[in-house]
């Protein structure tokens, strides 16, 4: 079946540093979604990207969808302790169900 | 508006026992999903439903059964639990075709001894 590979699996940063997680698919995606899961919590939808080359921002978070619609990234500028959690991408190919990446667990040293 | 709720929150089973996890949503969503989450594996789809009375297999359906007798409820059954089914189970719903954003429940942590 289709897969999205997400890297890195873990990332530890000092508060104030930037953070980036990447998702890659071997085939063209229809769209990609991003979710955040706080420790002990459940995944919460952040954003959906649909168009080739799309860039969306939510305060300190920047989401990009590659020109070929095979990769995506989430970049957090100047991390804060509230950013701690696991970030998942989830890709869709046509009418198929969403497939989640393995997630990137972000920890922050205050 | 409670969103998506799951019962129970925690459960410990012995190998071979059975149980049913209940998911309920009050958003009138057509689509509902059951996922399991294991360390380093992300979220894997077990079964899903595109409407009342319909169910379909996901990525890891073996050992599980589901039913969607009412639109707002989606049940996940384990007929004979195995230690490999120790996991955190999440239910989700979405309002396709309006949007395919998935709304998750709080999860059920299941341990099979």
pLDDT in tens, B12-49: 999 999 999 999 999 999 999 999 999 878 899 999 99
Q: How far apart are CA B64 and CA B54, in angstroms?
A: 15
Q: First CA to last CA across chain B, in angstroms? A: 36
DSSP B50: S
pLDDT in tens, A66-100: 999 999 999 999 999 999 999 999 999 887 788 99
Q: How far apart are CA B96 and CA A101, in angstroms?
A: 21
Encoded tokens for B45: 């789809």
Q: What's the pLDDT band for A1 if we cut at 50, 70, 90?
A: confident
Encoded tokens for B91: 């239910």
Q: What's the pLDDT band for A27 if we cut at 50, 70, 90?
A: very high
Give the pairing of strands B65-67 and B56-57.
unpaired
Read off φ and ψ for residue A22, nearest 5 degrees.
-125, 145
pLDDT in tens, B43-82: 999 999 999 999 999 999 999 999 999 999 999 999 999 9
Instruction: Quote the minimal CA–CA distance from A3 to chain B in Å.
Output: 11
Full DSSP string of B15-72: TT--EEEEEEESS--SEEEEEEEETTTEEEEEEEESSTT--EE-SS-TT-EEE-SSTT
pLDDT at B41: 81
Q: What is the mean pLDDT of chain A?
A: 95
Q: How far apart are CA A109 and CA B32, in angstroms?
A: 37
Burial of residue B28 (number of CB atoms within 10 Å: 0-12, 13-18, 19+): exposed
Q: Do B42 and A33 touch (CB under 8 A)?
A: no
Q: Do A102 and B90 touch (CB under 8 A)?
A: no
Residue from A68, A90, A99, A11 nearest B60 by CA: A99
Nearest to B42 among A33, A42, A102 (CB): A102
Peptide bond into B46 cis (omega under 30): no
Instruction: Quote the minimal CA–CA distance from B80 to chain A in Å.
Output: 26
Report the phi/psi class of residue A103: left, alpha or beta, with left for phi > 0 and alpha for psi in -120 to 50: left
Residue B13: which H helix or E strand, with range? strand B10-13
pLDDT at B98: 64
pLDDT at B96: 81
């Amino acid at each position: 079946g289709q897969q999205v590979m997400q890297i890195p699996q873990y990332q530890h940063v000092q508060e104030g540093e930037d953070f980036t997680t990447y998702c890659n698919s071997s085939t063209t995606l229809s769209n990609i979604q991003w979710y955040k899961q706080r420790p002990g919590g459940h995944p919460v939808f952040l954003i959906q990207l649909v168009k080739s080359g799309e860039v969306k921002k939510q305060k300190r978070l920047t989401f990009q969808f590659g020109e070929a619609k095979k990769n995506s990234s989430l970049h957090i500028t100047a991390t804060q302790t509230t950013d701690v959690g696991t970030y998942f991408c989830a890709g869709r190919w046509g009418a198929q169900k969403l497939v989640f990446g393995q997630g990137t667990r972000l920890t922050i040293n205050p | 508006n409670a969103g998506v709720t799951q019962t129970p929150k925690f459960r410990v089973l012995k190998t071979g026992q059975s149980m049913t996890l209940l998911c309920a949503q009050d958003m009138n969503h057509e689509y509902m999903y059951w996922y399991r989450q294991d360390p380093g594996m992300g979220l894997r789809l077990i079964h899903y439903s595109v409407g009342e009375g319909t169910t379909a297999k996901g990525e890891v359906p073996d050992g599980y059964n589901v039913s969607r007798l009412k639109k707002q409820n989606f049940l996940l059954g384990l007929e004979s639990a195995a230690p490999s089914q120790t996991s955190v189970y999440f239910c989700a719903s979405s309002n396709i075709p309006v949007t395919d954003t998935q709304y998750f429940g709080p999860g059920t942590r299941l341990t099979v001894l």
